[in-house]
Structures are given as C-alpha cells and as structure tokens.
C-alpha cells in the first residue's frame, strides 16, 4: 500500500512540475521594455555581443516552442549565449509595448514570435519572421543555427572577410 501512495505522490509531483515548466512565463507584461532593452544593449556592449529580442507573449505556443527548441539544444543554446544577450519582449492585452515596438520598426507585422537583432549600440540590424525557421510542428534546428550564426558580431565584422585586390 505504501508503494502505491509513493507512486501516486511521485506521479502528482512530476506532473505538477512538468506543467509549471510548460507554463513558465517567458514574457513579463510588467517590464519597462525600453529600459530592459537599454540594459540589454549596455550588457551586450560590455560583453562584445549583440542583443536578440524574442518578441511575443505567454499566450503564444510558438513563442514557447522556439524558446524550448533553443534552450534544450546544447549547440543552439551555446551559440545563442556566446553571441547574444536575450530579451523576451512582451506583446499582450496587458501591455502591448507600443513605443518599444514602434522603435523596432513594428516587427509584430510578421506575427509571433518575431526575432529582432540589435547591435551593441542598440541599432536594429535585422528582423526575422520566425515562420522561415519553422518545420512541421516545430523549428528546424539547422535553420535556427544558421540564422544565429549569420547575425553574430563575428559574422558582421568586416575583418572576418579577406578581400583580394585585383591588379
């Protein structure tokens, strides 16, 4: 009988834990988005990185799916953390962050999630419609990796490319 209660208790605990992970709030509607983005830019400058903004909301299953894909894949997570400061920009009925989205060029036109890359000065370098990173009911790992690698500080550093002068 003890074994049954222990098994049931363990099942309830693990099920509750799994649900809390699934419903974790990536986006904070109470954030002062412009202040948080400025802090991310400052940190990116100090760490010689760029800022990757994942815009969306806690209501968005594709937003959670993108985050899960990136954080659970060791190579994607490593490339992301080595090159970017990440900020989850909220868009929801509680707070649409109109000013922040306006300053970023209205990226919500692409749907959610939408990925915005800023340089270490806060200049918008790229806005990525995440639809092009999707495959089936998830995200294509190689496309996501390619996207990350193509927008790193190293990829945009002209010293990376050696040009041969023609005579």
Ordered by start, the domain boundaries in the chain are 24-156
CB–CB of 54/67 below 8 Å? yes
- pLDDT at res. 163: 78
27, pLDDT greater than 90: yes
End-to-end C-alpha distance for the chain, whole angstroms: 87
Q: Which residue has the higher pLDDT, 52 or 5?
A: 52
pLDDT of 7 > 90? The answer is no
Pairing of strands 134-135, 114-118: unpaired
Q: Check residue 166 and give its pLDDT.
A: 76
Q: What angle do CA 115, 117, 120 make, to 5 degrees?
A: 155
> pLDDT of 121-157, one tens digit each?
999 999 999 999 999 999 999 999 999 999 999 999 9
CA–CA separation, 102 and 67 (whole Å)? 24
Residues 6+ apart with CB under 8 A from 69: 76, 138, 139, 141, 144
- Band of pLDDT at residue 61, cut at 50, 70 and 90: very high
- Yes or no: domain 24-156 corresponds to CATH 3.40.30.10: yes
Where residue 14 falls among pLDDT bands split at 50, 70, 90?
Answer: very low
């Amino acid at each position: 009988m003890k074994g049954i209660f222990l098994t049931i208790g363990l099942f309830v605990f693990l099920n509750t834990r799994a649900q809390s992970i699934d419903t974790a709030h990536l986006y904070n509607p109470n954030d002062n988005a412009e202040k948080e983005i400025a802090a991310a830019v400052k940190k990116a400058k100090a760490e010689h990185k760029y800022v990757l903004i994942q815009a969306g909301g806690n209501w968005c299953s594709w937003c959670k799916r993108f985050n899960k894909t990136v954080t659970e894949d060791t190579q994607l997570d490593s490339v992301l953390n080595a090159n970017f400061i990440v900020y989850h920009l909220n868009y929801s009925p509680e707070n649409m962050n109109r000013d922040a989205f306006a300053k970023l060029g209205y990226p919500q036109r692409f749907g959610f999630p939408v990925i915005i890359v800023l340089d270490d000065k806060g200049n918008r370098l790229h806005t990525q419609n995440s639809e092009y990173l999707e495959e089936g009911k998830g995200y294509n790992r190689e496309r996501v990796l390619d996207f990350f690698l193509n927008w790193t500080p190293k990829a945009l550093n002209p010293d990376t490319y050696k040009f041969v002068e023609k005579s």
